[in-house]
Structure 1
Amino acid sequence: MGDNTLALAGGNDKKWSDITSQESTDINTPVSFADTKVKNVIGYDNNTETNVRVATIEDYENLRDATNREFAYGVLYGDGATETMESIEDVYEYYRIENGGRGYPESNRGMRGCFVFNTENGNNLFFPIGATGYGQRRTEHAWYGETQLGAGRLQYAWRNEEYKKKDELGYRPLFLDVYRRPGAIYWVRTIPTNPTNKNKKYCFLDINYFTFDFSPGETEPTLGTGTSACFIRCVEEIP
């Protein structure tokens, strides 16, 4: 993977090994994603800019724990869909067609993900898990004394084997072969301290498409150089 090139947004290509990340040597002073501005593309005609920031773990916890909140896992189709698709490519591999620099949303393809919705007013958010279903390009090493390297590999879970020891997993077979299952990781803006356990450093949102999980996760593996590439979700800052 390290010698293969990846197509980047904007039309550039880079090797995985050439994509760098910011690192901190002190867990108590973690690196944060910078706030930024993005173009407002609602309606695909408005080029005004909006102030946004990467979502924090508090944002995700509020989203998960609020009243009248439900979760559903399935497929979201593009606006051009008129029927349920049958082929894997059409059901899972939605992409936005560029036309003169403008997004073209009338695709009939879909994408897998998690729907978070309010049962009272119908407000909703959608969190995709990627066209392959493995929403993460993992770091070189993984947890549990992982010996199989694979920097940049598309893989949701940070392990390459089943839970074989009976004391490793109390809910078998639920997570037995989680390394084969779909899901996604979303980075948070910065690593906070969990108020109930100061030794825990939540740094991502974990969406397990197989077990219907939507929860914060902690201490991403950092044995290799750099870290994993995961999704982010931005929040609009409203004065």
Structure 2
Amino acid sequence: MSLQIPWLDDDPGAPFPAPGRMPGLPDGLLAVGGDLSPTRLLNAYRQGIFPWYSEGQPILWWSPDPRTVFRTDGVRLSSRFRRSLRRSGWVARADTAFDGIIERCARIPRRGQAGTWITAEMQAAYLHLHRLGHAHSVEVYASDAEDAPLVGGIYGVAVGRMFFGESMFSAASGGSTAALAALAGWLRDRCWPLVDAQVESPHLLFLGAARMPRERFLEAIAPLVEAPVPPGPWTQEFGTIPLRTLGT
């Protein structure tokens, strides 16, 4: 008898299947269908589940094993990059250009990928989450001038004291790394211990990400997603961070 992957029903509050390996299916693929409503998305992230699919496919929901995770005190910057930051005028801000960040993440070419999983539908869903105060971006600008160009950025979803990273981009060498490091340092100072990076890549591992067994990841995030942190923009609290401080 062939295994049928679970299809989600129309109720955005319906539970997801329990994560587990399904023979014959890609590792981590958990369910198909449903929608990208805020209720469904936040329910998914609380359970360590995220959507990932391409144009023309139904919505695919994933919980990979192992998970790729950064400790917020564990992002590694090379000595060379630290030196370049000390000489730079780059600054980081939060939630000042979320739409620009997600759009740049969607269209920037990536090695080994012919297209993007950040479809128009996905962009609209995360922009909605952002307007509700649940999705956030960190932008890196070339300087603190009002018209300074973006040189990199990252966006993701915050639930409680857990940040689930979705994507990042660089318009200049090191732009995404600087955004990740600025985000991690800001979260670390507020006792947010982890940033989810979903699926490993050599670049993420080089920057200090670690593989975490799914069961341990789900145990780790369970108390974090229940922390009573209200949604809302981070712009004012984040302020403007001169990234030369990351070079020390």
TM-score by length of 2: 0.30
More strand by share: 1
Q: Which has the higher contact order (CA 8 A, sep 6+)?
A: 2
Q: Give 1 or 2 for the bigger CA radius of gyration.
A: 1
